[in-house]
């Protein structure tokens, strides 16, 4: 979870909407969805449809841009080897970006530094990331399952902490020693 959400989960009361305080952990917002993923309210279905359509449209537009770039290479007559290398580079980077993006929806990265080092590769294979976003948004909000699991775990831990802490511990009766 992010730093803010961890802080929200550990503190007993959190500032909610309109300045009110809400006790317990708060759900982590998802890009384009906010916290509507918790109760599937606030136009959640329309947002999912919009995200799916937008990511697919962006992927198609990106393919056209890459096609124009490839045609530019053909016009420049750089040779078939360079053209083949460019196509292979984008295909491999897109496949890796798809896989890494898809994995990111299901679990947090074990090594954030390694994920940062892959940022350039994901930028080159941006079509793969867009397609992963499209396919995931057909099932759920991208990252919803991960955040729901973390949120439910945090709620259960919070409820357990609250239920075991009843009364003043100093006022407990101690058993008599013999």
CA–CA dist 88, 65 (Å, integer): 16
Distances (CA, A) of 42 to 17, 35, 77: 15, 9, 53
Instruction: Please write the tens of the pLDDT for every residue from 105-139.
Output: 999 888 888 888 889 999 999 999 999 999 999 99
Distances (CA, A) of 40 to 16, 95, 176: 19, 31, 55
pLDDT greater at residue 13 or residue 61: 61
Is the pLDDT assigned to residue 56 strictly greater than 80? Answer: yes
Q: Quote the pTM value.
A: 0.76
CB burial of residue 80 (10 Å; 0-12, 13-18, 19+): exposed
Is the pLDDT assigned to residue 41 strictly greater than 80? Answer: yes
CA–CA dist 1, 151 (Å, integer): 9
């Amino acid at each position: 979870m992010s730093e803010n959400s961890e802080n929200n989960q550990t503190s007993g009361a959190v500032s909610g909407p309109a300045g009110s305080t809400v006790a317990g952990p708060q759900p982590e917002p998802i890009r384009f969805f906010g916290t509507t993923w918790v109760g599937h309210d606030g136009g959640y279905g329309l947002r999912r449809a919009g995200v799916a359509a937008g990511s697919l449209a962006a992927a198609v537009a990106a393919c056209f841009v890459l096609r124009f770039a490839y045609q530019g290479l053909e016009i420049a007559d750089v040779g078939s080897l360079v053209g083949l290398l460019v196509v292979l580079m984008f295909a491999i980077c897109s496949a890796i970006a798809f896989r890494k993006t898809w994995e990111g929806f299901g679990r947090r990265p074990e090594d954030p530094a390694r994920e940062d080092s892959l940022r350039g590769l994901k930028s080159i294979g941006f079509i793969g990331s867009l397609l992963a976003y499209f396919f995931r948004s057909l099932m759920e909000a991208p990252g919803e399952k991960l955040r729901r699991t973390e949120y439910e775990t945090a709620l259960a831990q919070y409820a357990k902490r609250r239920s075991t802490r009843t009364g003043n511990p100093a006022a407990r009766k101690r058993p008599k020693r013999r």
